[in-house]
Chain A
């Protein structure tokens, strides 16, 4: 069974949240977007990205030599991940400069930062797609990482400043959030059934998840609670209550952290089964 990897949980979830915000900004910027929201969202994503990068260092035995992680781009997804995250940080700096200028090309800057970030997230996910661990060795791993990006990005943007968004922009963000939750929950059912049929290690992962209280807490916080709270807003087009939005973000955030913790905890690797 895997271990509780705090630095990796914080790095991946916060990093995905930060890039999700940038992606959502870029997507919304097709139509007129309030510059105050742009500044606030850019700053939030920058803080999250910085915290994520700092947390990633805590995972290393020798963080002072972390720069060396760039040296094996040919085959190592970890090298590629670090490269793309560093490029995203540089692109974020460019975006930060652009949003502070009245005629800055913020859409281009947000686009560059988002795409580099997306490549970083995909590289991040590909690190875990390894034949030794059936629970990770599938398309579900990149999908999980991308869904976290979409959900946290859209919800954070809504919480930051829903008032300056047009009804169409708000509906768009809400639809993306709901889509991420629905796809996440349905794909997880598929993931568990595929895993259960994939051999001893896969079955051990399913067994661990189904009997873990953390998993059932995740089911509630990550899928049930947000969808129940979002449903009346979508259905009746009710006015958005800031406290309700914050509650949904908090539930989703806890759910995503638990989901990522379980991702590491439930990893059962193919191993020697002889007696030691």
Chain B
């Protein structure tokens, strides 16, 4: 593998508009139930001051993808650029990958009897385009990046956020810019 592509999400910029979710649905005309990309609201209890913050998550194209490991039909492959591609035609709907992924990203579509997930718009990337979700993000909170030491050493880059599973399970290819918390002014 020559490089590892992934997402960088700026939680300070994300306003929870779900435009990325809709762009993904529009691009693939996918059914309503499986949500390849999904916006989550961070729980306020994890921060010292009350605040409203979001993060958007699709498949994390993990460095050690459990879905790929457990799949009995080799429906998953990892490209040279690190993208974990799910071959819908090979899937037999055993759902083992949905049990193995801590982010619940491969999702079973009962209408098709198969699992689906984000393939990081590899066809668009191959044409030099941005993934649909990244292209549609109005505040520019979602970016496609190369995950490497250079990125990880930058100030403010976080490998995880509160409420996410331990990174040790799959080593996900997603990085965050954490939310800044507003001042709380007390008048007493």
Residues of A within 8 A of B (CB): 59-63, 65-66, 68-72, 75-79, 82, 127, 130-133, 267, 269-276
Contact = CB atoms under 8 A, between A and B. Distances in A.
Contact of A68 (B42, B90, B110, B169): B90
Nearest to B73: A68
A14 B101 CA distance: 28
A72 B92 CA distance: 13
B70 A69 contact: no
Residue among A61, A77, A275 with max Cβ neighbours from chain B (10 Å): A61
B72 A82 contact: yes
A274 B40 contact: yes
B94 interface: yes
Interface in B48-72: 55, 57, 66, 68-72
A270 B169 contact: yes
B93 interface: yes
Contacts of B100: 130, 132
Contact of A75 (B40, B69, B102, B162): B69
A137 to B, nearest CB: 10
Interface string B77-119: 0000000000000111111100111111000101011110000
A77 B42 CA distance: 36
Contact of B93 (A62, A77, A133): A62
Contacts of B66: 130-132
Contact of B164 (A77, A132, A274): A274
Residue among B40, B42, B72, B168 with max Cβ neighbours from chain A (10 Å): B72
Contact of A60 (B90, B92, B112, B163): B92
A61 B112 contact: yes
B74 interface: yes
Contact of A78 (B38, B72, B102): B72
B123 interface: no
A59 B94 contact: yes
B114 A271 contact: no
Contact of B72 (A69, A273, A274): A69
Interface of B: 38, 40-43, 55, 57, 66, 68-74, 90-96, 99-104, 108, 110, 112-115, 161-166, 168-169
B70 A130 contact: yes
A76 B114 contact: no
A267 B169 CA distance: 17
A106 B152 CA distance: 63
A69 B102 contact: no
B113 A62 contact: yes
Given A61-B108, A76-B71, A272-B164, A66 B99 contact: no
A60 to B, nearest CB: 5
B40 A269 contact: no
A132 B101 contact: yes
A61 B165 contact: no
A269 B102 contact: yes
B18 to A, nearest CB: 11
Contact of A72 (B72, B103, B113): B72
A59 B101 CA distance: 19
Given A272-B164, A273-B163, A78 B96 contact: yes
B95 to A, nearest CB: 8
Given A59-B95, A270-B169, A272-B163, 12 more contacts: A60-B113, A62-B114, A72-B71, A75-B69, A76-B70, A132-B169, A267-B99, A274-B41, A274-B42, A274-B161, A274-B162, A276-B38
Contacts of A131: 66, 168-169
A-B pairs with lowest CB-CB distance, top 10: A61-B93, A61-B113, A274-B163, A78-B72, A274-B40, A69-B72, A275-B41, A79-B72, A68-B73, A76-B72
